[in-house]
Every structure is written in C-alpha cells, then in structure tokens.
Chains A and B, each alone.
Chain A
Amino acid sequence: MSEARLRIAGAVLALIGLGIATYLTIVHYDGGDPLCLAGGHGCATVQESDYAEMAGLPVPVIGLFGYLTVLLAAALPGDAGRILGLFAAVIGFGFSLYLTYLELFVIDAICQWCVGSAVVMTLTFVVALTRALRFTGASPNPPGQVPAAD
C-alpha cells in the first residue's frame, strides 16, 4: 500500500474516532447517559465510574486530543507525520488496552462506544506502524506515487 493511501486511511480512522469522542464528550458535559444498543446500560456505568476522568480530564476529551493528533499526523508529510502518527498511535492503542482492561475487570461493564473507539485505535496503530516501518527515512512523495520500500 502506498504512503498516500496509508495517510488517507489514518485520516478516515481519526475522523471516525473524533466522531465517537465528540459524542461522548457532549454526553459527559450534558450530564446524560450515552445511548447503548439493545438497551444495555454499560455505557452509563462506565461514564459514571471513577475512571471516567483521569488527572481531572474526562476520558472522551483525552480521546479528542488523541484523534486530533492522529489527524494532524495523517496531514503531515514526511518523517514528521510518520513519527508523530506512530507516537500518538502507540499511546492511543496502549491506553485503549488499559481502558478495556478496566471495563472488563474493574468496572464490570462494557461500553459499546468505548469498544468502537478501541477498535478504531487498534486499526490506527496498524496503519501508523506500517507507515513508520515502511517509509521512515524515505522522502515524502506526492499522493499516488509509490516510494521505494526496502
């Protein structure tokens, strides 16, 4: 896959993630409960838990910053974009794993929105890692042109 396609994939994933994080941020400040499919109430439990905020920041707001960084990395050409994307994706992916662990073993509730975000972040990690491993050190290429990989 060309770097241009990886950057587009990264941007699309970031936009989906931004959508989820924006919805959960609005719900957080609105004081309501997130809508859960099939009438489940795991989202409310997670949103109301001790872990809904970290260092005073609501988790969805942390997600907003994370996905904005991923979007910025997708927009940046060259090594700056590749490294920033990898940096954000490793933190995002690890943080998603940690949050999923908290849901499963500490809070005892699963939020479908959080699972959705974790899936998006996992795909983002795969895209960012591929971009960094295949193209770091190569010169930025105009979209459509495939740079020489090792």
Chain B
Amino acid sequence: MASRKQEKEQRRQERLEAEQAAAGEQRRKKLLTVVGATVLAALLVLVVLIVVNQSEDEGGGDASSINADIPVIGVLDSLDQQGLAVGDPAAKVTISEFGDLQCPVCKQFSETVVPALLAKSGPVGAGDAQLDFQQFVIIGPESEVAARAALAASEQDRYWQFIEIFYANQGTENSGYVTDEFLTGVAEAAGVEDIDAWNTSRADPKWDAVLAQTQSDASKAGFTGTPSVLVSGPGGEKIVGAVPDPDAIAKAVDEVS
C-alpha cells in the first residue's frame, strides 16, 4: 500500500514539476516576445527620429547652384576690405572671429551676428572696429581646403564675400562637398575676377604658416570651439563667449577702445 501511495505521490510531483516547467517556458517565451517587440519598436521610432533629423540638415553644398543672393554682400561691397579684415583701416579695434567654414554654428553667426556688426549702427559699420576672420580649422580636412580657398580670395579683396557665400551654401560636414567645382562656384559668385591666379594662390604652401599662426593664437586665447571671438584694441584684449550676440561684442569694443 505504502508503495502505491509513494508512486502516486511521485507521479503527482512529476506532474507538478512538468507544469511548472511548462509555465516557466511559457513565461520565458512571453518575456522574449514582449521585450524583443518593445526594443524593436523603440529602435524603429529612434531610427525614424534620426533620419527625419538628418534629412532636415541636408541641403547646401550644391556646386551646380551656388546661391549668392544674400543681403550682406551689398554691405560688404560698400566697406573697405584689406587682407582678412573688413572695415575702416584707421579703426583702432579689431574684432577677430575664429571660425571654421564647415561649422554650422559659424554659419548662424555669419547670418545673424556679422550683418549686425557691419550695419551702420554696428561697430564695424560705424567705423569703430575692423572685423577679421581667422581660419581656425577644427572640423576636418575639407575645412582646410576651404580655408586656403578663402585666404586666396583675400588677395583679390573678396575674402569676406567668399566666406559669406560659402556659409550661405554650406553642406554637411566632411561629406565631400568641398570640391574644386564647389569652391570655384563660390569664388566666382564672390566676385573673384582672376580665377587662374586664385587657383595658383590656394595651392601655395605660404598659407601653411597663416593657418599654423591661427591655431597658435586660438590656443593662446584658450579657444576650443568655433566660432570664438577676440576683441583687441588700445585698451587690451577681451574674449567674448562662444556664440556672442552683437551687443556683447559692441560692449567689448567700447571696453578696449
């Protein structure tokens, strides 16, 4: 009798264990399905978010349609321009923008802050300061190619027009858009008349020293990002924040005058 009872108990135990194992297996399957589906759905949403964002950023960098229709060009044409600086050469204060032509924040700076500085009410337009652009190459090899092309345009006094038109047509960083065709299009739109001379100049190793000097100056000023602004005059030097507003720069101009 005892043995029959034991067998019955054993069978019950085995059945229970089998049921528990089946329930455990079912739970694991549910867990894998639910967690897997959740992660997949979340990844899908994430990919859509990033793709939408990336497609918003595309545009520009098109060598076949360079846009030169920007109001600041007319203002630049009306101001003195020598070398890297625009503005009255007699002005005692210099506003130096350390920028990278591939940098999207510098593009914003060129579209908002630069026009305000060049306006008649701004420090450059009023003749209180000159504005120069130091080619602070930080983003990639294409930035250096672009910087040399801009520096070469300075020899024909079209430096600032080149910079502003480059920014107006800027593409995605390091995407390969800074081609000879693109740069030539920007140079022509900027009013560089002797394209052959400009081509010879931008290949000249003399710009190495200019670029190295800018890196050194930026390092001394403690700049690590672009755009950064340094205002210098008889009253000393003043470093303005990374994304300064025109009023902060005008204030710095007053302080070092």
Q: Please list the residues of chain A having a beta carbon within 8 angstroms of any beta carbon in chain B.
A: 33, 41-42, 44-45, 47-51, 54-55, 79, 83, 86-91, 94-95, 98, 106-109, 132-133, 136-138, 150
A residues near B100, Cβ cutoff 8 Å: 108
**Cβ–Cβ contact A83 & B38, under 8 A:** yes
How many B residues have CB within 8 A of the partner chain? 36
Report the minimal beta-carbon distance from A42 to chain B, rounded to whole angstroms: 6
Name A's interface SS: helix
Can you name 23 A-B residue pairings with CB atoms under 8 Å? A33-B241, A33-B243, A44-B242, A49-B104, A50-B104, A51-B53, A54-B52, A55-B53, A55-B56, A83-B34, A86-B39, A86-B42, A88-B42, A91-B45, A94-B46, A95-B50, A106-B173, A108-B139, A109-B242, A133-B31, A136-B30, A136-B35, A137-B34
Given known contacts A44-B241, A45-B242, A132 and B173 CB-to-CB distance under 8 angstroms: no
Given known contacts A41-B242, A98-B50, A137 and B31 CB-to-CB distance under 8 angstroms: yes
Which B residue sits closest to A42, measured CB to CB? B225
A residues near B104, Cβ cutoff 8 Å: 49-51, 106-107
Q: B21-36 vs A: 1/0 string, CB under 8 Å?
A: 0001001101100110
Most buried by B among A45, A54, A91: A45
**Cβ–Cβ contact B243 & A45, under 8 A:** yes
B residues near A83, Cβ cutoff 8 Å: 34-35, 38
B residues near A137, Cβ cutoff 8 Å: 27, 30-31, 34
